[in-house]
């Protein structure tokens, strides 16, 4: 019914566009996601402090919606609204004619405001739309004039989700409450909790207490010397029941995930009898793919069914996520017991063994009135009839599963992996280096080409994932989620034909202000001013003129700048073309919106001679390599500060300082960082470039240019033996001199440390200028 309503309302949207567009003086409505249909009218209704919110007697759902509306308006606009039973200028109305559990109507005229829906979620979403209309600007604490209009709204897709991963880095329960609040604000309705993995088991199982007594705690990896203190945590069932109830009142369903049969090292650490080969590993601290699998024998199946019983008792939603991803089958391949079981079952491959296991769990969940959903690897070996698919390896798995008649959720990497960085700025927190911008997310289409028209109803919607290998703190998780969650909300709710990125950016700024007033960290990456030095640094220094281009990622707002060290204001000079300045000038710039507010914090660019001869971690390039996984990582896996962080390719610890002004340099200082080497690479371990170390712990080798296969070896500029990681600090410097007569060009910085030692990367390189 939701989809039929969506088609009808999309038609209404097109019909009403002319009426809305005719009011050329009307400001864009500050709404995210954009409703299906909006018809503007003349006039407005003013919401004042103390305004009453009327609900029908005995209507608990309407009362909840009214209280949530009042709570949001109090925080976001500074007005106190009073929910009451009975008639009031702002009213909630039950109307069976509004088809769809999440659909609503919102009507505003000079006499008042009416929110009508047939379902509780519809009333809630009408309340959230009204909350946004009441807080469109910076007039905090003052009455709000809501424009006269008629909104008829319903979602395009029923699944609009975010995934939080507390298994890699545990997050406090209060943090999850805040995420739920802000999901509801933009009509996201599914919170997927990745509760177990190799690095931590976060769900209390009363029948099997060692899952949290042992499995919820790990020892961090070492970057040299003794490892740090144990870290971890878990959620009690009582805590999770409270979260489930809180989320349900806000229209958010929580989908729990117990990841099986792979990503099971924490489980096996707690109960080794349910592992494959009988050993007891520690709880994992390596990110990636590790070898530990669940044993598929009947006793282990019953063990998981007992866990599922407790999980089902806490989480009342339809779906239980059982993972199924990245389960390398080596342990099953080497187990006589598993091989004998496969023979008895007539299974020819380990992927069929996984499919059999997933089918067992799917049937068990179905007997309890629940549905299994898993990552798209469960397609391999044959998809169990009971399963739904969450497609993360692109759209292919979703297309295949939907065409087979299975429900699917689109969650493709890298575009909907919110642990990917949002920009190349040096102040981005750690994460994956496959940058996914706000625009990238907004352009994504959750209905993939290739799904047959009669199977399109199997597409439930879209979900973004925030894996937490490098998202350690609540601040960092929030920075990854917001504002990209707004783009996700719009592609999941609004009609495809209504998408308009420039318009979305205009509507986003009020939502950013609401999130910040609610205490959320919101990334300004899309609006931050970035600087590009035009031409080579050596040429600029010789000429005494530095040319710098300024731009923002979203190309939104007006860039204003100063050259006198002061912060730019809305009256500062507007940027129009690349700036030509003398060396030593510091450019300070920020983008401003039409209301005069800054869209991002001010960023600086120094053109001192020293700065122009220095490069930091985010400005280096990776050496040419056949394989690459680019990461921005901290010095410690448990670092609670946002800096320092270092860009590197974990397959090849080689870094390039591009177009270095070597002709002007007599020497250099290079800052080295040594983070842990904690990566579970599974069968990709052969991709790690190993170079022969000629001193005990390897060397840092600097060359003028990078080696080329079958080409001449570049000149060696310097070689430094690396210290013993067990005793040396994990940040240190080398200094050296350079020969005269070098031409400008790349400097290649290669580490030859053995793979048994921690990783190395370059934090900064400063060339020392030749004195005139």
> Element (H or E) spanning 20, and its range?
helix 2-22
Query: Is the pLDDT score of 248 beyond 70?
Result: yes
Kindly give the residue spans of alpha helices, DSSP state H, lying in 186-236.
Answer: 210-213
| Token digits of residue 137 | 């600007």
Please answer whether residues 459 and 413 qualify as being in contact, where contact means their C-beta atoms are separated by less than 8 angstroms: no
Nearest to 623 by CA among 682, 678, 703: 703
User: What values do phi and psi take at 323, rounded to 5?
Assistant: 65, -110
Could you tell me the CA-to-CA distances from 579 to 438, 537, 605 in Å, in that order? 27, 15, 12
Q: Fold for domain 529-609?
A: Immunoglobulin-like (2.60.40)
As a whole number of angstroms, the distance between CA 676 and CA 419 comes to 19
Query: Is the pLDDT score of 9 beyond 70?
Result: no
As a whole number of angstroms, the distance between CA 677 and CA 224 comes to 10
| Token digits of residue 58 | 């005995």
Hey, what's the torsion of the CAs at 277, 283, 287, 293, to 10 degrees? Answer: 30
Ramachandran category for residue 600: left, alpha or beta (phi over 0 → left; psi -120 to 50 → alpha) = beta
Q: Can you say whether the dihedral through the CA atoms of 448, 454, 458, 459 is positive or negative? A: positive
Active-site position among 239, 305, 310, 326:
326
Asked if residue 644 has a cis previous peptide bond (ω within 30° of 0), the answer is: yes
Tracing tokens 């039950």 back to the chain, one arrives at: 94
Residues linked to residue 85 through DSSP beta bridges, in sequence order: 55
3-class SS of residue 364: helix
Q: How confident is the model at residue 625 (pLDDT cuts 50, 70, 90)?
A: confident
Q: β-strands 761-769, 558-562: how paired?
A: unpaired
| Domain extents in the chain | 2-153, 159-514, 529-609, 614-769
CATH 2.60.120.10 fits 159-514, yes or no: no
The DSSP output letter for 396 is: H
Asked if residue 672 has a cis previous peptide bond (ω within 30° of 0), the answer is: no
The region of weakest confidence among 3-12, 300-309, 674-683, 738-747 is 3-12
Q: What is the pLDDT of residue 709?
A: 67
Number of Cβ within a 10 Å radius of residue 377: 21
3-class SS of residue 309: helix
Q: What is the pLDDT of residue 416?
A: 98
Q: What is the pLDDT of residue 110?
A: 97
Q: β-strands 579-581, 546-552: how paired?
A: antiparallel
| Per-residue pLDDT reduced to its tens digit, 372-429 | 999 999 998 888 777 899 999 999 999 999 999 999 999 999 999 999 999 999 999 9
Asked if residue 225 has a cis previous peptide bond (ω within 30° of 0), the answer is: no
Query: Is the pLDDT score of 73 beyond 50?
Result: yes
Q: β-strands 586-592, 558-562: how paired?
A: antiparallel
The average confidence (pLDDT) of the chain is: 94
Residue 336, burial from CB neighbour count under 10 angstroms (0-12, 13-18, 19+): exposed
Greater confidence (22 vs 322) lies with 322
User: What values do phi and psi take at 238, rounded to 5?
Assistant: -65, -40
Domains 2-153 and 529-609 share a fold: no
Q: What is the 3-state secondary structure (H, E, C) of 583-629?
A: CCCEEEEEEECCCCCECCCCEEEECCHHHHCEEEHHHCEECCCCCCC
Please answer whether residues 95 and 147 qualify as being in contact, where contact means their C-beta atoms are separated by less than 8 angstroms: no
| Per-residue pLDDT reduced to its tens digit, 521-578 | 999 999 999 999 999 999 999 999 999 999 999 999 999 999 999 999 999 999 999 9
Residues linked to residue 91 through DSSP beta bridges, in sequence order: 54, 114
Contacts of 664 (CB under 8 A, 6+ apart): 538, 541, 542, 613, 767, 769, 770
CATH 3.30.379.10 fits 2-153, yes or no: yes
Query: Is the pLDDT score of 11 beyond 70?
Result: no
Residue 115, burial from CB neighbour count under 10 angstroms (0-12, 13-18, 19+): buried
Q: What is the pLDDT of residue 644?
A: 83
As a whole number of angstroms, the distance between CA 646 and CA 660 comes to 20
Q: How confident is the model at residue 642 (pLDDT cuts 50, 70, 90)?
A: confident
Tracing tokens 């290079």 back to the chain, one arrives at: 670
Ramachandran category for residue 555: left, alpha or beta (phi over 0 → left; psi -120 to 50 → alpha) = left
Taking CA 150 as the corner, what is the angle to CA 146 and CA 151, rounded to the nearest 5 degrees? 100
> Element (H or E) spanning 358, and its range?
helix 350-367
CATH 2.60.120.260 fits 614-769, yes or no: yes
Asked if residue 414 has a cis previous peptide bond (ω within 30° of 0), the answer is: yes
As a whole number of angstroms, the distance between CA 256 and CA 292 comes to 21
Q: pTM of the prediction?
A: 0.95
| Active site (annotated) includes residue 326 | yes
As a whole number of angstroms, the distance between CA 405 and CA 635 comes to 47
Please answer whether residues 82 and 53 qualify as being in contact, where contact means their C-beta atoms are separated by less than 8 angstroms: yes
| Per-residue pLDDT reduced to its tens digit, 327-339 | 999 999 999 999 9
């Amino acid at each position: 019914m939701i989809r039929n309503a969506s088609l009808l309302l999309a038609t209404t949207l097109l019909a009403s566009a002319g009426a809305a567009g005719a009011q050329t003086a009307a400001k864009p409505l500050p709404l995210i996601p954009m409703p299906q249909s909006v018809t503007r009218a003349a006039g407005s209704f003013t919401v004042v402090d103390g305004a009453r919110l009327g609900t029908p007697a005995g209507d608990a759902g309407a009362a909840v919606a009214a209280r949530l509306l009042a709570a949001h308006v109090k925080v976001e606009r500074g007005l106190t609204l009073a929910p009451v039973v009975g008639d009031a200028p702002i009213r909630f109305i039950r109307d069976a004619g509004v088809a769809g559990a999440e659909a609503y109507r919102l009507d505003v005229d000079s006499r008042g405001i009416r929110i009508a829906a047939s379902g509780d979620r519809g009333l809630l979403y009408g309340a959230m739309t009204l909350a946004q209309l009441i807080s469109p600007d910076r007039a905090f604490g003052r009455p709000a004039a809501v424009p006269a209009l008629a909104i008829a709204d319903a979602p395009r897709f029923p699944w609009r989700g975010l995934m939080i991963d507390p298994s890699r880095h545990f997050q406090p329960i209060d943090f999850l409450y805040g995420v739920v609040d802000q999901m509801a604000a933009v009509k996201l309705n599914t919170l997927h909790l990745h509760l177990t993995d190799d690095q931590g088991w976060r769900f209390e199982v009363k029948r099997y207490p060692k899952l949290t007594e042992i499995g919820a705690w790990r020892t961090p990896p070492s970057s040299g010397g003794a490892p740090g203190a144990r870290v971890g945590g878990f959620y009690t069932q009582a805590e999770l029941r409270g979260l489930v109830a809180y989320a349900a009142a806000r229209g958010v369903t929580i989908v729990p995930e117990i990841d099986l049969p792979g990503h099971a090292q924490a489980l096996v650490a707690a109960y080794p009898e349910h592992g494959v080969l009988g050993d007891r590993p520690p709880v994992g601290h390596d990110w990636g793919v590790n070898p530990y699998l669940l044993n598929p024998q009947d006793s282990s199946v019953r063990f998981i069914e007992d866990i599922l019983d407790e999980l089902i008792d806490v989480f009342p939603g339809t779906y239980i996520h059982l993972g199924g991803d990245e389960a390398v089958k080596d342990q099953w391949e080497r187990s006589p017991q598993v091989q004998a079981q496969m023979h008895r079952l007539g299974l020819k491959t380990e992927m069929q063994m996984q499919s059999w296991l997933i089918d067992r769990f799917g049937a068990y969940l179905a007997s309890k009135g629940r549905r299994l959903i898993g990552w798209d690897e469960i397609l391999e070996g044959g998809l169990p009839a009971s399963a739904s698919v969450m497609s993360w390896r692109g759209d292919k798995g979703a297309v295949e599963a939907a065409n087979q008649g299975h429900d699917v959720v689109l969650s493709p990497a890298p575009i909907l992996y919110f642990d990917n960085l949002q920009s190349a700025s040096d102040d981005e927190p750690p994460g994956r280096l496959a940058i996914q911008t706000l625009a990238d997310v907004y352009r994504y289409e959750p209905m993939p080409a290739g799904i047959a028209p009669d199977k399109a109803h199997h597409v439930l919607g879209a979900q973004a994932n925030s894996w937490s290998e490098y998202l350690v703190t609540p601040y960092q998780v929030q920075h990854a989620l917001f504002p990209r969650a707004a783009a996700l909300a719009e592609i999941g709710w609004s009609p495809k034909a209504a998408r308009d990125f420039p318009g979305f950016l205009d509507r986003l700024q009020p939502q950013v202000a609401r999130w910040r007033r609610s205490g959320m960290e919101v990334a300004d990456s899309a609006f931050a001013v970035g600087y590009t030095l035009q031409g080579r640094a050596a040429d600029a220094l010789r000429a005494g003129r530095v040319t710098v281009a300024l731009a923002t990622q979203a190309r939104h707002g007006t860039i204003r700048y100063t050259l006198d060290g002061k912060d730019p204001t809305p009256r500062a000079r507007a940027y129009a073309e690349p700036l030509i300045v003398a060396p030593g000038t510091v450019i300070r710039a920020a983008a401003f919106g039409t209301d005069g507010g800054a869209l991002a914090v001010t960023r600086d660019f120094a053109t001192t001679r020293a700065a122009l001869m220095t490069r930091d971690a985010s400005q280096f390039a990776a050496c040419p390599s056949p394989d690459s996984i680019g990461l921005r990582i901290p010095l410690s896996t448990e670092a609670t500060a946002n800096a320092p962080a270092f860009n590197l390719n974990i397959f090849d610890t080689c870094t390039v300082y591009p177009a270095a002004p070597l002709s002007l340099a007599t020497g250099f200082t290079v800052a080295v960082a040594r983070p842990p080497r904690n990566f579970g690479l599974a069968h990709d371990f052969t991709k790690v470039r190993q170079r022969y170390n000629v001193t005990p712990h390897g060397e840092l080798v600097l060359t003028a240019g990078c080696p080329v296969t079958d080409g001449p070896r570049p000149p060696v500029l310097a070689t430094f033996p690396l210290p013993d990681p067990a005793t040396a600090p994990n940040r240190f410097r080398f200094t050296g001199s350079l020969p005269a007569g070098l031409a400008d060009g790349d400097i290649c910085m290669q580490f030859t440390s053995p793979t048994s030692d921690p990783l190395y990367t370059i934090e900064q390189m400063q060339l020392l200028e030749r004195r005139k």
